[in-house]
A and B are shown apart, each in its own frame.
Chain A
Amino acid sequence: MASSAFVSRRWLKANALLTPTGLWLGIFLIAPLAIVVQFSFATRDTGVARAVLPWTTQAYLTALDPAFLPIFGRTLVYAGATTIACLLLGFPLAWFIARHGGRYRTVLLAAVLIPFWSSYLARIYAWKALLDGEGLVNTMLGWVGLDRDGGFLLTHGAVILGLTYGFLPFMVLPLYVACERFDFRLVEASYDLGHGRTSTFFRVVLPGVLTGVLAGSLLVLVPAAGDFVTPKLLGGVDQSTFGSVIDDQFRGGNNWPLGSAMAVLLLVLVVLVLILRGRRGEDVL
């Protein structure tokens, strides 16, 4: 089709434009991640809490110890439930804005993001106050007899609510992009051809916005699995998650190889999810 000189000029131009970004990410992101892999095979030096040679797989054996299983399980439940909750809340919102937003679409989309211009910690503490035993939520539920002694703080539900709140925009934005590209006439066509609402949803709407669903889930699932601030602030006594165990190993200077090995396990999860996604969600991300 095109001459090879043309293709290579285009290739050169594209790579020239991408070079600054590539350098920055290479030095300040890829190199650090590679170092984490190296750290994960290092021997623990208890004296100065530093990772030193010789190489060993001890950190991985410790990380995969059954003692950590409940923590892994809890983390996966938090991350999975958060992703599902974000989908359930985000899809109707994204669809509504794209389909019925009219000339206010941009404003409505911006309105989704405005709350995030305040301190994340302040918002989490606001939820803390709202979910408290004497808080507004429990008081209002009390009017209909659904209140709970001591409120909803320090429960798994509170953690999932906090995570959902924090990650919702990352679900709404790619879903909105997918909904905006969706040809809404297909829904009418499906109804005209005799499909019901459920059948239309699963056979027409969902395949049409699948790229957005995949992209949004990707942006929520793995980052939520790594979050430790929200479980710490809203969760109960035993709120250790994958992220908080990693954090403990580094912040206390306790065991960098162990923290690194766990970070590598999370990176493996990232790579697995990226492979599973394949190329399908690529144009949205």
Chain B
Amino acid sequence: MNRRPWALGLVAALVFVFLYAPIAWLAIASFNSSRSLSRISGLSTQWYAELFEDTRVLESLRLTLQLALASAVISTVIGTLAAFGLRRAFPGRGVWTVLLSLPLVVPEVVMGVAMLGFFVKIAGIPLGFGALLFAHVAFSLSFVVVVVRSRVSGMDVRMEEAAADLGASPSVAFRTVTLPLVAPAVVAGAAFAFLLSFDDVVISSYLTGVGSTTLPVFVYAQASKRGVSPEIVALSTLMVTATALLLIIGVMVASWRARKAGSVAQLA
């Protein structure tokens, strides 16, 4: 397999085609002049214009963003703490690992109906934003822990020991050494949590209350009647474009900082 990297590269390229084909098609269809997703009849930007006038879509987009942001903040904070808790071996770590792997492997429909039954019949939690937030943090947490933990466990303990030897107090060492080292993983975990919440259909569909319909649930309800509306296609295109741009900017900033660090190292 090392003798023919081009063959492997070709397969990898084909997988990328598979991943991007529907996205590319959505981008094309978002400029379609007719409502159809399958037949392109002409160019138009009317769906983008309609998207920004559709108050129902914008309202549920606002709610979905608030929910995803709140869920990402909570699950990142407590998930990062948990990842540090799992850093060193201790009696009972295996039990924690099993508990944390549950949200990753239990099917969404099972979590959804379980939460519906528990919230409504037992805990008396009204359906709506609160119930959604409790649920979204519960299924995002483990992803944050997995991502942050992989970084924490790969970290060189000697870095922190060196900081302590040089006179840094534990809190200073944590802020100036540990945190910068794990920051990329924390950011990745937060992005993951945001995305999971933002795109969740199944669990949210059981827990939305009156006036608190998230965008995916709204789209699902609409789509099962008459297909996905062109405004949603336009919105999806905007989301992917924005994410890709953010990623490109992030990579450019990272390489610029690496170059700067390199030149500083050369001076020293």
Contact = CB atoms under 8 A, between A and B. Distances in A.
Given A25-B103, A29-B102, A243 B109 contact: yes
B262 to A, nearest CB: 13
B63 interface: no
Contacts, number: 290
Interface in B66-83: 78-79, 81-82
Interface in A15-45: 15-18, 20-22, 24-25, 27-33, 35-36, 39
B82 A270 contact: no
B85 to A, nearest CB: 3
Contact of B236 (A107, A118, A285): A118
Contacts of A96: 5, 8-9, 11-12
A250 B113 CA distance: 7
Contacts of B186: none
A232 B201 CA distance: 14
A132 B216 CA distance: 23
A21 B8 contact: no
Interface string B194-238: 010001011000100000000110011001100110001101110
B22 A130 contact: yes
Name B's interface SS.
Answer: helix
B11 A92 contact: yes
Interface in A187-232: 187-188, 197, 200-201, 205, 218-219, 222-223, 225-229, 232
Contact of B114 (A25, A36, A115, A225): A36
B29 interface: yes
Interface of A: 7, 10-11, 13-18, 20-22, 24-25, 27-33, 35-36, 39, 50-51, 89-90, 92-93, 95-97, 99-100, 106-107, 110-123, 125-130, 132, 134-136, 165, 168, 177, 184, 187-188, 197, 200-201, 205, 218-219, 222-223, 225-229, 232-233, 243, 246-247, 250-251, 256, 259-260, 263, 266-267, 270, 273-274, 279, 282-283, 285
A117 to B, nearest CB: 4
Interface in B227-262: 227-228, 232-233, 235-237, 239-240, 242-244, 247, 251
A285 B199 contact: no
A273 B37 contact: no
8 contacts: A7-B91, A14-B85, A21-B85, A21-B145, A30-B99, A33-B114, A93-B11, A125-B233
B206 A250 contact: yes
B244 A114 contact: yes
A129 B85 contact: no
Contacts of B138: 24-25, 28-29
B151 to A, nearest CB: 11
Contacts of B112: 250
A141 to B, nearest CB: 14
Contact of A29 (B18, B111, B116, B240): B111
Contact of B237 (A11, A28, A118, A282): A118
Contact of B195 (A117, A127, A177, A222): A117
A130 B112 CA distance: 31
Contacts of B11: 92-93, 96
Contacts of B206: 250-251
A201 B220 CA distance: 43
B98 to A, nearest CB: 7
Contact of A36 (B93, B117, B153, B233): B117
